Amino acid sequence: MALLIAAACAAAISAQGMRGGTPIAPGQDCPPGTTQTRPGNCQAPEVAPPSILDYRPRSTLVTAETPVPKAKFPAVDIHGHAPGLNSAGGIARIVTEMDRLNLRVIVSADNSSGDRLAQTLHAINSGPHKDRFRVLAGVNFGDVGPGWSDKAVRQLEADIKAGAVGVGEVGKNFGLTTRKRDGSRLQVDDPELDPLWQAFARLDVPVFIHTAEPQEFFQPLDYKNERWLELALFPSRRNNAPGQVAFDALMAERNNVYRKHPKTRFIAAHFGWHANDLKKAAAMLDAYPNVVVEVGAILYDLGR
């Protein structure tokens, strides 16, 4: 009897919830203005919905808070963009913040080269905090064409001799929007870059490389895009215009470089943009032992 009553109540509740709803087939989207309330049924709210900008629900979840104001163990920031490294005053301010966080070393990844790199290295090495910083050299990919690689390798050799410990950050525009001398898109795996990748291996320095952007940035700007609001607010992050290179194409070009240059060590910035797909990230790391990843700006993915 109890089971019959429970079943009857459940049926009544279900019928009540279905009232006014719109049935949909498996895999079908709800009609505009409605949302899925249970499998196979969509319903419109009875009150006017707020704008996505005005919807700010307050969580009622109560949990213990454990603030972590500083690292338990001395940390190294491999993805450092700390302004002020070219002056004693700037360095002193940065070190104060580093001490507050228990940050032992910052690796400056500002893609600097030549005189700019020399100025930064001089400011660091002439002061009392030279053990707290390492600096990466930079490469200008803006004029790739005949003769470019010889010039780039010579500059790289000079920058490493001056004191740089690697190269980077090779920025997101590389492969995405950077153009060759002839006006064509510079692909990440362009053969004209091979002498440079080989030079990194010969000099035994790592390459800190940022390829593409989060894959949502390459998707249509619609309400299925989980980063719709971000893309609506910041148009420079949209990479879905007609004719723009696709996310998967950039990943394939990058992986071609990893595969073709196994003796070159790569640090893939932002987890290689695979933090939302750890199986894919693991496959990349298994396939290319010369690659490691860093975790800048992707903790939101790991956290979920």
85-99 pLDDT per residue, tens:
999 999 999 999 999
pLDDT tens sequence across 135-180 = 999 999 999 999 999 999 999 999 999 999 999 999 999 999 999 9
Give tens-digit pLDDT for 10-34.
Answer: 443 444 444 568 999 999 999 999 9
Q: Which two tokens stand for residue 104?
A: 């032992």
Token reading at 302:
């790991």
Rounded to two decimals, the pTM is: 0.88
pLDDT tens figures, 212-245: 999 999 999 998 999 999 999 999 999 999 999 9
Sheet containing strand 75-80, edge to edge, reads 75-80, 103-112, 133-137, 167-170, 207-209, 266-268, 291-293
Average pLDDT in the chain: 93
Residues in Cβ contact with 85 at an 8 Å cutoff, skipping those fewer than 6 apart:
91, 94, 108, 110, 120, 123, 124, 133, 135
The domains of the chain are located at: 72-137, 143-302
